[in-house]
Chains A and B, each alone.
Chain A
């Protein structure tokens, strides 16, 4: 091989290798966001947001009609009371988009944008929180953006932006008086839901990639990458760890009466009693790491693992059934229309609908 050919070959190889790692609206850059109402599933999966009919798994529409570098979707879509779909983009435009599914362009089969907000400086990873007519949206640029849903603006401007610091990847939650925000910058913040004043800002030991959750005892619970479940007084921010887990807690804990269910990144599943501040039973460990939050149902609790399996457990931690879906599951499963929706990465399909026994009813993939 000549020197020229050798150089050109390796240079091309280097360019391709580096290009393969770059961002852009490529499916698989991170895991998809999934939401559903009674009839439709909304899957934010790379270049598009898909609306999928729950009855048969057929695509109803997609947004945008044609993919472009400005838009990449991984954040969980939010369905508002008036039926709009709000979803943040991780593409180069850093836009937060509200779609009107009732107004789909017949030519492109894409819904019309009700409004777009482009005032943020980084990716949208977290879904926004809707409180009445107000939207609380946190961005990876470290700011909380507060938007008025009823101001009629199509190119929306923030009513206020509050610097929280750190990358904000988790959905804010509210107790009706305060909005609680968790940050990868090892902190948890409370903002007044009406005055938008910063009420408290508390540091914790590790990054907090999941949302906070309000327990039945009225306290706020947060899992951290420092392997701690931390309990906060929502009024004052006073806090202390109530459980040291075996490994990093990624997912948002889920409330079931006095019990909090959560998992760690080595795949242990915990059942924590907020009244006794102890575990109800020793952690169970299915077949792989767990980033998805558990899905609490009346009959069972569903767990999705990185190994591509879905487990149904009873409230004593006993496995009722398990199903190998394929791929890697990081996205929290969603229950809608009598089905359980699972959105794996690296599988032959984008979305699977399971019945109550874990059997696959249909799968969806982008045929285009």
Chain B
């Protein structure tokens, strides 16, 4: 079943590559277009994520929410019960903001496997590619392979680095980490309460996710990094266009100051 899923991804990727003329740099463009396609397909998930994040953000300035934070500051169990009550009463799903992100992991893994399968760097890989192509017969892969893995300065089948004064600088990994950080921060609910578990969780994710995806980009074929960057930029643009981007949260401590100022008024 999983193999069929990866085969489908591979075939769509090759189909786009074929539409683009299968020339130099076109596999990179195919990955970017495929990412846009995936963003469109996963639009409901992302919309749910944004809705959830927005609801959580609004909750931070809610008087009842702030009151229970103060009242049960020393009773974590009771605080959790009260938080759940408010979630229930207001129809808020606390997982709504992070679950869609986690659901993207299978897509990332399938995309990674489809990129490596399409690039087929070993004989066994090329054989698997022929099988993937056979699974969906809308493409004559025999004329397409091997794919041209060059994209800009990169070989999409290998981890990327740019040699600067003899030192290999992993530029894509840095861009992946930065854009992941920006996206996570923009969608992160602001809070003035240091004891808020949801905010602590979001804060933790905004640190660990860039590191995790940056490490992926550093270690795995650069085609995956192209996917991460495209996906992150699309997420940022989508969020900004909806007017929900919390740009001030990009500056450390800034959102807390704003909330504190809001509270004092």
Known contacts A30-B122, A90-B122: does B105 contact A3 (CB below 8 Å)?
Answer: no
A21 to B223 CA separation, bound complex (whole angstroms)? 14
In angstroms, Cα B208 to Cα A205, docked, is: 48
Residues B124 and A29 in contact, CB atoms below 8 Å apart: yes
Verify B146–A166 contact, CB threshold 8 A.
yes
**Which residue of chain A is the closest to B99 with respect to CB atoms?**
A6
Residues in B94-144 with C-beta less than 8 Å from chain A:
94-95, 98, 102, 105, 108-109, 112-113, 116, 121-127, 130, 142-143
- Which of B116, B123, B212 meets A209, CB within 8 Å? B123
Let me know if B102 and A18 touch, CB within 8 A.
no
Q: Which 5 pairs, one residue from A and one from B, show the smallest C-beta to C-beta distance?
A: A30-B122, A30-B124, A14-B105, A184-B146, A225-B142
The residue in B126, B130, B216 that gathers the most chain A C-beta atoms within 10 A of its C-beta is B126
Q: Is the interface of A mostly helix, strand, loop or mixed?
A: loop
Q: Who on chain B is nearest to A184 by CB?
A: B146
| Cα A286 to Cα B83 with chains together (Å) | 66
Residue from the list A31, A90, A125, A167 in contact with B146, Cβ < 8 A: A167
User: Are B123 and A3 interface neighbours, CB within 8 A?
Assistant: no
| In the complex with contacts A125-B123, A209-B126, A10-B102 CB distance below 8 A | yes
Q: Tell me whether B220 and A22 are in contact (CB under 8 A).
A: yes
B residues whose Cβ falls under 8 Å from a Cβ of A: 94-95, 98, 102, 105, 108-109, 112-113, 116, 121-127, 130, 142-143, 145-146, 198, 201, 204-205, 208, 212, 215-216, 219-220
Flag if A225 contacts B145 (CB, 8 Å).
yes
* Contact pick for A14, options B108, B116, B219, CB 8 Å: B108
Q: Determine the distance from Cα of A3 to Cα of B122 in the docked complex, in whole angstroms.
A: 39
**Shortest distance in angstroms between A13's beta carbon and chain B's nearest beta carbon?**
7
Say yes or no: A206 contacts B143, CB within 8 Å. yes
Counting chain B CB atoms within 10 Å of each CB, which of A14, A17, A22, A167 scores highest? A14
Contact at B143–A22, with CB atoms within 8 Å? Answer: no
Give, as a whole number of angstroms, the nearest-CB distance from B222 to chain A: 13
Decide: A330 and B123 in contact? CB cutoff 8 A.
yes
Contact B201 A4 (CB under 8 A): yes
Show 16 A/B contacts (Cβ-Cβ < 8 Å), sorted by A. Answer: A3-B94, A4-B204, A7-B205, A11-B105, A11-B208, A14-B105, A14-B212, A19-B219, A21-B116, A22-B219, A30-B122, A125-B122, A125-B123, A185-B146, A209-B123, A265-B127
Residues on B with C-beta less than 8 A from A73 are none
Q: Determine if A169 is an interface residue (Cβ-Cβ < 8 Å).
A: yes
Among residues of B, the one whose C-beta sits closest to the C-beta of A17 is B109
Whether the pair A10, B105 counts as a contact (CB closer than 8 A) is yes
Q: Which residues of A contact B112 (CB under 8 A)?
A: 18, 21
Q: Once bound together, how far apart are the Cα atoms of A23 and B130, in whole Å?
A: 20
1/0 contact string of A174-209 vs chain B (CB within 8 Å): 000000000011000000000000000000011101
Most chain-B Cβ atoms within 10 A of its Cβ — which of A3, A11, A21? A3
B200: nearest chain-A partner, CB-CB: A4
On whether the beta carbons of A226 and B109 are closer than 8 Å, the reply is no
Scan residues 122-153 of chain A and give those whose CB is less than 8 A from a CB of chain B. 123, 125, 140
- B124→A31 contact, CB < 8 A: yes
Residue A291 is within 8 A (CB to CB) of chain B in the complex: yes
Chain A residue numbers with a CB within 8 Å of B95 are: 3, 6
**Given A206-B142, A225-B145, CB of A74 within 8 Å of CB of B122:** yes
A117 interface contact, C-beta 8 A: no
Residue A81 is within 8 A (CB to CB) of chain B in the complex: no
Q: Check: A95 CB closer than 8 A to any chain B CB.
A: no
Q: Closest Cβ of chain A: how far from B60's Cβ, in Å?
A: 16
How far is B208's CA from A15's CA once the two chains are assembled, in angstroms?
13
A13 to B104, CA, bound (A): 13
Compute how far the CA of A13 lies from the CA of B219 in the bound complex, rounded to whole angstroms: 16
- How far apart sit A167 and B198, CA to CA, in the bound complex (Å)? 51
With both beta carbons as reference points, the residue of chain B lying nearest to A289 in the complex is identified as: B127
